[in-house]
Chain A
Amino acid sequence: MKAMDIPRDPYNLIITGVGGQGNVIASRMIGDMMVRAGYRVTIGETFGVSQRGGSVMSHMRISHTSVWSPQIPEGRADMIVALEPIEAIRVMSYYGNPNTVVLSNTRPIYPVGAIAGEMTYPSLDEIRACIERLARSVAFINATEEAVRLGVAILGNVIMMGAIAGTGILPLNIERFKEIIIKRLPASQHEVNITAFSRGIELITNTAWTHPSAR
Chain B
Amino acid sequence: MSYLLDEREGSEYLIMGNDAIVRGALEAGVAVASAYPGTPSSEIIENLAGVSKERGIYAEWSVNEKVAVEVAFAASLAGLRSICAMKQYGVNVASDFLLHVALSGTRGGMVLVHCDDPGALSSINEGESRHFARMLELPLVEPGDFQEAKDMTAWTFELSEEIGSCVMLRSVTRLSHASGNVRFGPLPSIERKASFRFEAMPDDPRTGPVITMPVVRRHEELQRRLRRAAQIFESSPFNTYTGPESPEVCIITSSACNFYSREATALLGLEDRVGILKLGTTWPLPVGLVARHLARAPKVLFVEEVLPFIEENVKVIAAERASEIGPTLFYGKNDGTIPMIGELNPDIAARALARVMGMKYEPLEAAYRTTALRTAEEMAPPRDLTFCPGCPHRASFWGLHHALTLDNRRGFVCGDIGCYTLGFLPCGFNVMKTSHSMGSGIGIASGFGKLKGFGFDQPVAAVCGDSTFFHAAIPALINAVHNQADLLFVLLDNSGTAMTGFQPHPGLPLDAAGAALPAVDAASICSALGVPVVTADPFNVEETREILLDLLGRKGVRVIVMKQACALSPEKKGKKKFAMQVDAEACRGAACGCNRLCTRIFRCPGLVWNASIEAACIDEVICAGCGVCASICPAGAIRREEITT
Interface residues of A (CB under 8 A from B): 18, 20, 28, 31-32, 34-35, 40-50, 52-55, 67-76, 86-87, 89-90, 92-94, 96-98, 107, 109-117, 119-122, 126-127, 130, 133-134, 144, 148, 153-154, 183
Contact = CB atoms under 8 A, between A and B. Distances in A.
Given A35-B13, A111-B383, A71 B608 contact: no
Contacts of B601: 116
Contacts of A72: 346
Contacts of B123: 48
Given A42-B180, A70-B259, A111 B382 contact: yes
A52 B386 contact: yes
**Most A CB within 10 A of own CB, among B379, B383, B426:** B383
A53 B384 contact: yes
B372 A67 contact: no
A112 B574 CA distance: 21
B390 to A, nearest CB: 11
B529 to A, nearest CB: 32
A109 B619 CA distance: 9
B409 interface: no
Contacts, number: 200
A34 B181 CA distance: 11
**Most B CB within 10 A of own CB, among A31, A45, A50, A74:** A74
8 shortest A-B CB distances, which residue pairs?
Answer: A48-B122, A93-B376, A70-B178, A53-B386, A69-B259, A48-B39, A75-B364, A119-B381
Nearest to B147: A67
Contacts of A54: 383, 385
Contact of B122 (A32, A50, A115): A50
A93 B387 contact: no
**Most B CB within 10 A of own CB, among A20, A69, A94:** A69
A46 B363 contact: no
Given A35-B13, A97-B368, A116-B600, A45 B381 contact: no
A47 to B, nearest CB: 7
A126 B263 contact: no
A75 B499 contact: no
Contacts of B384: 53, 111-113
Contact of A86 (B40, B145, B347, B381): B381
**Most A CB within 10 A of own CB, among B147, B180, B267, B387:** B180
B272 interface: no
A35 B13 CA distance: 7
B489 to A, nearest CB: 24
A74 B379 CA distance: 20
A177 to B, nearest CB: 15
B333 interface: no
Contact of B383 (A43, A55, A74, A98): A55
Interface residues of B, number: 71
Interface in B245-263: 256, 259-260, 262-263
A93 B370 CA distance: 9
Given A53-B605, A115-B607, A47 B177 contact: yes
8 contacts: A75-B364, A107-B621, A111-B381, A111-B382, A111-B383, A112-B426, A134-B371, A183-B3
B173 interface: yes
Interface in B570-616: 574, 596, 599-601, 603, 605, 607-609
B14 A71 contact: no
A115 B263 contact: no
B380 A41 contact: no
Contact of B14 (A31, A55, A120, A148): A31
Interface of B: 3, 12-14, 39-40, 121-123, 145-147, 173-175, 177-181, 256, 259-260, 262-263, 267, 345-347, 350, 363-364, 368-369, 371-373, 375-377, 379-388, 419, 421-422, 426-427, 499-500, 574, 596, 599-601, 603, 605, 607-609, 619-622
B126 to A, nearest CB: 13
Given A40-B181, A47-B39, A144-B621, A73 B375 contact: no
A71 B178 CA distance: 9
Contacts of A18: 383
A201 B387 CA distance: 34
A141 B387 CA distance: 28
B148 to A, nearest CB: 10
Contacts of B386: 52-53, 112
B353 to A, nearest CB: 12
A110 B605 contact: yes
Nearest to B262: A69
B178 A68 contact: no
A117 B499 contact: no
Contacts of A92: 372, 375-376
Given A50-B122, A109-B622, A98 B368 contact: yes
B144 to A, nearest CB: 10
A35 B122 CA distance: 28
A45 B372 contact: no
Contacts of B427: 53, 112
A74 B177 contact: no
A32 B179 CA distance: 10
Contacts of A47: 39, 122, 177
Contacts of B379: 86, 89, 122, 126-127, 130
B376 A90 contact: yes
A50 to B, nearest CB: 6
A193 to B, nearest CB: 15
**Most A CB within 10 A of own CB, among B40, B123, B369:** B369
A153 B624 CA distance: 12
A117 B364 contact: no
Contacts of A53: 383-388, 427, 605
Nearest to A35: B14
Nearest to B500: A48
A52 B387 contact: yes
Contacts of A43: 14, 178-180
A178 B44 CA distance: 28
Given A35-B13, A70-B256, A75-B364, 9 more contacts: A31-B179, A43-B178, A71-B345, A86-B380, A90-B380, A109-B622, A115-B608, A117-B600, A117-B609
A194 B54 CA distance: 32
B179 A52 contact: no
**Most B CB within 10 A of own CB, among A71, A90, A111:** A71
Contacts of A134: 368, 371-372, 375
**Most B CB within 10 A of own CB, among A73, A75, A114, A121:** A73
A113 B603 CA distance: 8
A186 to B, nearest CB: 14
Given A67-B180, A109-B622, A114 B381 contact: yes
Contacts of B605: 53, 109-110, 112, 115
Contacts of A89: 375-376, 379-380
A117 B599 CA distance: 8
Contacts of A32: 14
Contact of A74 (B347, B385, B387, B609): B347
Contact of A112 (B145, B181, B603, B621): B603
A126 B379 CA distance: 8
**Most B CB within 10 A of own CB, among A31, A46, A113:** A46
A47 B363 CA distance: 27
